Amino acid sequence: MTTTLDKPPADKPSAPATGTTTLVPRPEPLEEPEEHRRVGRLRREDALALGGAAATGLSLAFLLFGRLAPLSGALGFVVVAHLIFLLVYAILVWMDASADGSKAGPVVRDRLLTVVLSSVAVLLFCALVLVVGFTVLRGWHALPHGSFYAQDMQAAGPLDPITVGGVQHAVAGTLIQIAIALAVSIPLGIACAVYLGQVPGKFSRFVRTIVEAMTALPSIVAGLFIYASWILMLGFEKSGLAAGLALSVMMLPIVIRASDVVLRLVPGTLTEAAEALGAPRWRTVWHVILPSARPGLATAVILGTARGIGETSPVLLTAGATAALNVNPTHGPMMSLPLAVFTFVRSPQPAMVTRAFGTALVLLTLVLLLFTLARTLGGRGPGRLSPRQARRADRRSQRDLDRFESAGTAPAPAADLADATDKTPPNPAPTEVD
């Protein structure tokens, strides 16, 4: 008889050995798992820490700027108050994390970074609201007049009131020029992005380097390039076509770079599945890659449009300036909205300054409409249907089901299929064949 005895714990007597017995020490009690805090939920302690730190920052800033130190200025007050707020908030978060028994360093860094990023976002939003609000406040008086949209400045002088003259010629010129620029930059930009993604090699890396360098191209250089090549060398006159080409030079690198990034995000399994079915490369790109990246490509077009629609110097070099309406892009000078704002605001007359801010409001509205149109045409990602598309798909499915029932070929319900499967013998007996 063989007996294996492990050393029992000191606080418990060993049991008598009978037969073959193995005594295992009693395991240590398991520690309770740590309860994780939900990051997205704001606790009461977090709200109190934020409020207390903000009150402390404001109070100490008031003391420094009014009592203790000879400081002055609204900007300095805001900066000092914010720095004190961050310092006090870090101390409160460290005390809270230390009381919970967790590591205070990562928690403090995470909360401080969150507060700093939120502060920057609020600052940028306030700057945007300030710019738009100031433009609306200064140019609102020009918008109610119908002549502001239906007339040009051919018969209006600098001393005429706001009811005489308008920006019809500038709106038409901007739409024509940006249409020409989009007609050039969209197909070339998307085709170049597809080439960079589908044809790797030394030349594609060279092209990508050139595109990245051209994203920081100054607008005046683009205007000088078209002016030297299109007007001086080829002998064409200043026109809206030349201005559209200059804008396309600026928009093309933005569209290529953004489209390249978007096309890289398309899952490789979709391309592999299409090629496994025998589809050629061009059909895979046209029917799989581009439809999958359509919302991102719309965003790339939006970025390119935002880059070119607000430029003044390329239009001034290649299309000139005029006070009359011109809708012929191949002949004569053509005005644009940014150039009109630049021309109006140079005048010291209050009516011209008001007209300039009203033109800026029209430009903002036009950009918003173009962006909304681009997002609408871009649609949603693959497999993501809007409520209207979902209702349309449901109606098509219902029509197909009605057609199957009328033809007598309606698919069986799932319950009937299950019953039929259960009634089928699992393994029928083989039949002897002579």
What is the full DSSP assignment across 224-273? HHHIIIIIIIS-PPS-HHHHHHHHHHHHHHHHHHHHHHHHHTS-HHHHHH
pLDDT of 159-186, one tens digit each? 888 888 889 999 999 999 999 999 999 9
In terms of average pLDDT, the best of 101-110, 241-250, 288-297, 304-313 is 241-250
For position 201, what pLDDT does the model report? 82
Band of pLDDT at residue 20, cut at 50, 70 and 90: low
Residue 294 has pLDDT above 70, yes or no: yes
Confidence of residue 242 (pLDDT cuts 50, 70, 90): very high
pTM for the whole structure: 0.70
Per-residue confidence (pLDDT) for residue 172, from 0 to 100? 92
Lowest mean pLDDT among 76-90, 127-141, 405-419: 405-419
User: pLDDT-based confidence at 32, cuts 50/70/90?
Assistant: low
CA-wise closest residue to 231 among 308, 316, 170: 316
Is residue 191 very low, low, confident or very high in pLDDT (cuts 50, 70, 90)? Answer: very high
pLDDT (0 to 100) of residue 271:
83
In 3-state terms the chain splits into helix, strand, coil percentages (rounded to 5) of: 65, 0, 35
Q: What is the rounded distance in angstroms from the CA atom of residue 191 to the CA atom of residue 263?
A: 11
